[in-house]
Amino acid sequence: MKNPFLDSRNQFPAFQNTHDGKPLVYLDGPAGTQVPTRVIDAISNYYRTMNANHGGCFPTSRASDAMFSAAQQAAADLFGTNDPEEVYFGANMTTLTFALSRALSQEWKPGDRILVSHLDHDANYSTWVRAAQDRGVIVDEIEINTTDCTLDLEDFDRKLTSETKLVAFCGASNAVGTRTPITSLTRLAQSRGAMVFIDAVHLAPHALMDVQQWGADFVACSAYKFFGPHIGIVWGKKSHLQRLRPYKVRPCAETLPDRWMTGTQNFACIAGVMAAIDYLADLSIGSTRREKLQHTFERIEAYERILSAYLIKSLQTVPDIRIYGITDLDRMADRVPTLSFTHPKFSPIQIAEYLGSQGICVWHGNYYALPLTERLHVEPAGMVRVGLLHYNLVEEVDQLVDVLKRLTQNR
């Protein structure tokens, strides 16, 4: 199977990196993707040509502010909103979500409830649980079906009460790749009076976010998971962003998005975020950036379904391996090409170290998806995670499987 994005690999300097004379195999995308040259150039160009703080009356500050507005528009195009004021940046998704949970929870009262999920990264769990604890709010947890690592939708329905103020769940699991039915869950939650926060960090490199269709109240993502630098981004409904009282310093403007962006932003990396979004857009043709992104992600989803199936089938040829997540090949649309596995004879760290010694980059442990790994009873060792992206090749999957067979069959 030829990768339809093969040419785009040339744009990533990291693919020149070698280990023992062979190219490194990057299967660690869920922990952070590689970045194309234009992202690196945008960051260094910022420092070279417009490095200045926000709001000055001189040319570099004006250039920096213009860049910021353009990046905000690019992020709005990625989220699928027509209003760039609904988008703001910050250090990373975790920090932004802690800040949001602190502000949002001011509207909760003792005895209210929130609903979080066992499919999630801890950044979409502890952030809300801590806020709930501070306000005397009851925390309910959506269970998962442990056989295929999907959300238990009946449990969701059961636990969603008229007291539920907020439901927080992910668009896709960073550990096992399961996608969630965002739009229908959002509608159900809102019909019972709850707000919805979507963690789209893991979904964002695999499917186009669409805040209008989803209808959620807040969506968060992180640019380093979609070929950009380490920056978090939040989209929120304007009425909420205007009504809520963020924890901010007094001189910081009350206008959007300023009131949600504490302290000085990482402007250079925000320039890099715009370049990452434009990298994705320019993989396809279209008359607007959003249209180009739509075409790109249609193609990414189609190729990644093939990659998912290939990865699962190939790993299943390694004796005794246990794969976590959806493995039914007819259900590849319900997952992204991220999965975890364990082996009865080798610990996750042993497997990851051996693969690493062979130039294959994977992750081991719980990757902060602790609500999930606890439910799967794989703590404390965790699992081994393999994550593919549009730039990965079936040949890289073959290499992974060859090395795994060498490890597990020769000892």
Ligand X SMILES: Cc1ncc(COP(=O)(O)O)c(C=O)c1O
Binding site for ligand X (CB under 6 A): 30, 92-94, 121, 123-124, 170, 174, 199, 201-202, 222, 232, 368
Q: Which two tokens stand for residue 294?
A: 């739509």
Closest contact distance (angstroms) between CB of 232 and ligand X is 5
CA distance 48 to 55: 19
Closest contact distance (angstroms) between CB of 202 and ligand X is 4
CA distance 152 to 30: 24
By beta-carbon proximity to ligand X, the closer residue of 235 and 346 is 235
By beta-carbon proximity to ligand X, the closer residue of 206 and 343 is 206
Q: What is the DSSP string of 22-79?
A: EE-EE-BGGG-----HHHHHHHHHHHHHT---TT-SSHHHHHHHHHHHHHHHHHHHHH
CA distance 40 to 35: 7
Closest contact distance (angstroms) between CB of 266 and ligand X is 13
By beta-carbon proximity to ligand X, the closer residue of 339 and 403 is 339
**Side-by-side strand order, sheet with 195-199:** 87-90, 232-236, 218-222, 195-199, 164-170, 113-117, 138-142
Closest contact distance (angstroms) between CB of 94 and ligand X is 3
By beta-carbon proximity to ligand X, the closer residue of 112 and 199 is 199
What are the respective helix, strand and coil percentages of the chain, to the nearest 5? 45, 15, 35
By beta-carbon proximity to ligand X, the closer residue of 131 and 170 is 170
Q: How far is CA 135 from CA 131, 190, 245, 286, in A?
A: 6, 22, 16, 48
CA distance 177 to 332: 10
Closest contact distance (angstroms) between CB of 201 and ligand X is 4
Closest contact distance (angstroms) between CB of 175 and ligand X is 8
By beta-carbon proximity to ligand X, the closer residue of 130 and 405 is 130
Closest contact distance (angstroms) between CB of 407 and ligand X is 26
By beta-carbon proximity to ligand X, the closer residue of 179 and 343 is 179
Looking at the DSSP bridge assignments, the partners of residue 335 are 178
Pair 271, 42: CB distance under 8 Å: yes
